[in-house]
Amino acid sequence: MSVSTATQPFPSFQQPSADIMLTREDMNFIAKLVYDQAGIVIREHKEAMTRGRLARRVKVLGLNSVSEYCAFLKTPQAASEMTELINAVTTNHTAFFRERHHFDHLAREVMPRLIQERSGRRGRIRIWSSACSSGEEPYSIAATCRDVLGPRSDLDFRILATDIDTDILIKAEAGIYPAEQFERLPADVRGMFKFEAGASRSEVRIAEEQRRMIAFKRLNLIERWPMSGPFDIIFCRNVFIYFDTQTKASILDRFVDLLSPGGFLYLGHSESLPSPHKNLRLIGRTIYERTA
């Protein structure tokens, strides 16, 4: 069969055909896989976005189409591809001091109380940033708390920062960011960050003294958690929007189990409890206190 070169000017050049819509069957398959693996709900109208994100994997694996990628995911050889699939579909948008009111609450209400309660006895303070993305959230927590703590060293203070996305965690742990991310911040919070000397003009690295306040780990919120707590504060911001009611309710119960009485839970700006929780009391804008 001869193919007219008038309609196919570059017949030997094969591009991954990510521009071809995912079939309903492939879309359902991906949506179920991502839901089972990460609890993330991909709705049908997100077809173009999903296709675009999977196109990266199509290219890396040398496949020709997203539909070939779906076929590959059904083979036993694809077991190790699950991490990459989840990395590809997660949305990592974040910012330093995003939703500033949480950090103001942390600095003005929570930290002074914890310091008063725990100091002198080498008391421990534990904070968990449970969907930390590229690190802007836990570094903002570290900078805020260091500012309140000052040079004191009589407290055992740690931040645990976790995310499901292994690629983004590498970035978070490195602590290297475009300098302009800090230039955009209000001067009072910008001044709370310490930077390593000798970085380039366009990039800066968070200083070791702030980086070592945080332990970064991979953790899937819908799987078993290895920590026993208790935590004084849990940040779970802008990830519930990807989960359904049942997943949110189950994670919330487990947060409550890990929070110390009087501890705080911060949710994202458009998030709320799926239903009232007997042990969580709303005390501010998306701020909940764990009742005794």
Ligand X SMILES: C[S@@+](CC[C@H](N)C(=O)[O-])C[C@H]1O[C@@H](n2cnc3c(N)ncnc32)[C@H](O)[C@@H]1O
Query: Where along the sequence are the contacts to ligand X (CB under 6 A)?
Result: 38-40, 90-94, 98, 131, 133, 137, 163-165, 168, 220-222, 237-239, 242, 268
Identify the active-site residue in 26, 163, 165, 232: 163
Cα 91 from chain centroid? 8
Query: Is 53 an annotated catalytic residue?
Result: yes
| Minimal distance, residue 11 CB to ligand X, in Å | 40
Q: Which residue, 22 or 239, has its beta carbon nearer to ligand X?
A: 239
DSSP string, 86-154: HHHH------TTSSHHHHHHIIIIIHHHHHHHHTTTT-EEEEEETT-TTTHHHHHHHHHHHHHHTT--S
Contact 233, 128 (CB under 8 A): yes
DSSP state of 234: E
Catalytically annotated residue among 26, 51, 53, 165: 53
DSSP string, 19-55: TSPPPHHHHHHHHHHHHHHH-PPPPGGGHHHHHHHHH
Least distance (Å) from ligand X to the CB of residue 251? 9
Residue closer to ligand X (CB basis): 67 or 238: 238
Residues 135 and 160 sit within 8 Å (Cβ to Cβ)? no
Give the nearer residue to ligand X in terms of CB position, either 214 or 239. Answer: 239
What minimum distance in Å lies between the beta carbon of 259 and ligand X? Answer: 17
Using the minimum distance from each CB to ligand X, give the nearer residue, 16 or 268: 268
163 in catalytic set: yes
Q: In angstroms, give the least distance from the CB of 203 to ligand X.
A: 20
Residues carrying an active site annotation: 53, 163
